[in-house]
Chains A and B, each alone.
Chain A
Amino acid sequence: MSKMHIKMTVNGKQVETLAEPRELLIHVLRERLDITGPHIGCETSHCGACTVDMDGKSVKSCTVFAAQANGADVTTIEGLGGPDNLHVLQEMFKEHHGLQCGFCTPGMITRAHRFLQENPDPTEEEVRFGMAGNLCRCTGYQNIVKAIMAAASEMNAAKEAAQ
């Protein structure tokens, strides 16, 4: 089978690569584009470690063919912040010990980012329901929820200050 040209916007940059249609988005991101923030956990659409933002939706990139993402706007953890400019969610995960081994963290934060766009002032229960597609093998959920609640407060305070 012939390879196809895949054009996407990834973290604000236009990228183009050749891939077979059967290649999954997570493989193209990690192996062809060297974007290794999104992780491969279960590879069966259960764990959420591979979560990326695609056209404004949180998706599990192990269950999307790169061909489906052709033309899409994709954001990964690398697009949210970096070591020198942490996103407030990253800051709060650090502050509230929202990670132990850290394997699930890129998916958690990428999902939490989209969730807070849709529900900027959630209850703890809404956070748990909104994060239900992401598993933490260390079972560190309490602090993940705390970190997301704290990030929501920080983001809302910053929004108010800006007004």
Chain B
Amino acid sequence: MIPGTFEYYRPSDLSEAIKLLTTHGDDARVMAGGHSLIPMMKLRMADIPHLVDLQDIDALRGIEVDGDAVRIGAMVTQHELIADEALFKAAPIIREAALQIADPQVRYVGTVGGNVANGDPGNDMPGLMQCLDAVFSVHGPDGERDIPAREFYEAAYFTAREDDEVLTAVSFKPQSGGYAYEKQKRKIGDYATAASAVLIAKDGATCSSASIAMTNLSDTPIYSQAASDALIGSDLGPDAVSAAVDAALGEIDPAEDGRGPVEFKKHVAGVILRRAIERAVSRA
């Protein structure tokens, strides 16, 4: 399996990369770790005459954690996310989710930017970033703009990023309270049959904030405000958890594929949501 021919570029700064995208339009694509793009090119499902490798752009690297803000460069790998202790303290849900992505070899190379920008509903980081209410920074010929993760995904592989823009970083506020990323998959390395990211904070015995998002249960990640609302103000007891699960299930639209028929996926989604909420509550 060998891809079609292409010209290869490895710019050392962002403006050079954006210039290549502007010059070549639809014929150019940027590549981060390449572990989604290269398989598509090998299958000849993606034809990219001008391939722009981002590996030499230092501005896209690094994890910055200060008091009330976390910023992760787009080229930070899953392996680096898992290893970073400051990030683990600020948002432990990231390590929990990243450990469930693919396998060790893929995590050394796969990046957070590639994972969120790709637009594949099977990717785990988009739902996670919606749960964290993250913001994606994109740079294009007209400068930088920020797009909330909850407004970024339009349909499978269609996002709010324009073709001549490069996603450069994800940012969010450090989390407090309980967390869980729960994922059902057929085997290590598979995409989720269903996955859910949950954050829960308590004030005494009462839920003071909640955020629930889901992976691979529609053609985009799903953030469920209704599920979050079902928990906020509640005692987080069995009735409230069931109400949240029901609300979340009302927002998904899974498609039948090799991972199972629609009814099965809805069933698995219910199990995963309940586990994720209960685990987040136990840690809150």
- Which A residues are closer than 8 A to B by beta carbons? 1, 4, 20-24, 27, 43-46, 48, 51, 57-60, 63-65, 67-68, 70, 111, 115, 129-133
Q: Are A115 and B104 in contact (CB under 8 A)?
A: yes
Interface membership of B263, Cβ < 8 A: no
Interface membership of B226, Cβ < 8 A: no
Closest to A22 in B: B3
Given contacts A21-B8, A63-B34, A67-B53, is CB(A111)–CB(B2) below 8 Å? no
A residues less than 8 Å from B189 (CB atoms): 46, 132-133
In the assembled complex, the CB of B282 is this many whole angstroms from the nearest CB of chain A, namely 22
Q: 5 A-B contacts, Cβ less than 8 Å apart?
A: A22-B41, A44-B1, A48-B103, A57-B109, A115-B104
A residues less than 8 Å from B7 (CB atoms): 1, 21
Given contacts A45-B39, A46-B189, A133-B105, is CB(A22)–CB(B2) below 8 Å? yes
Closest to B190 in A: A46
Interface membership of B264, Cβ < 8 A: no
CA distance A8 to B197 in the complex (A): 41
- Which B residues are closer than 8 A to A by beta carbons? 1-8, 10, 34-35, 38-39, 41-42, 51, 53, 55, 79, 102-106, 108-109, 188-189
Q: Are B39 and A44 in contact (CB under 8 A)?
A: yes
Q: Are A58 and B35 in contact (CB under 8 A)?
A: no
CA distance A24 to B1 in the complex (A): 9
In the assembled complex, the CB of B48 is this many whole angstroms from the nearest CB of chain A, namely 10
Given contacts A44-B39, A45-B35, A68-B34, is CB(A58)–CB(B108) below 8 Å? yes
A residues less than 8 Å from B3 (CB atoms): 22
Q: Are B5 and A22 in contact (CB under 8 A)?
A: yes
In the assembled complex, the CB of B112 is this many whole angstroms from the nearest CB of chain A, namely 16
19 additional A-B pairs beyond A58-B108, A65-B34, A67-B10, beta carbons within 8 Å, are: A1-B5, A21-B5, A22-B4, A22-B6, A24-B2, A27-B2, A45-B35, A45-B38, A48-B105, A59-B105, A60-B106, A63-B34, A63-B38, A63-B109, A64-B34, A68-B53, A111-B104, A111-B105, A133-B189
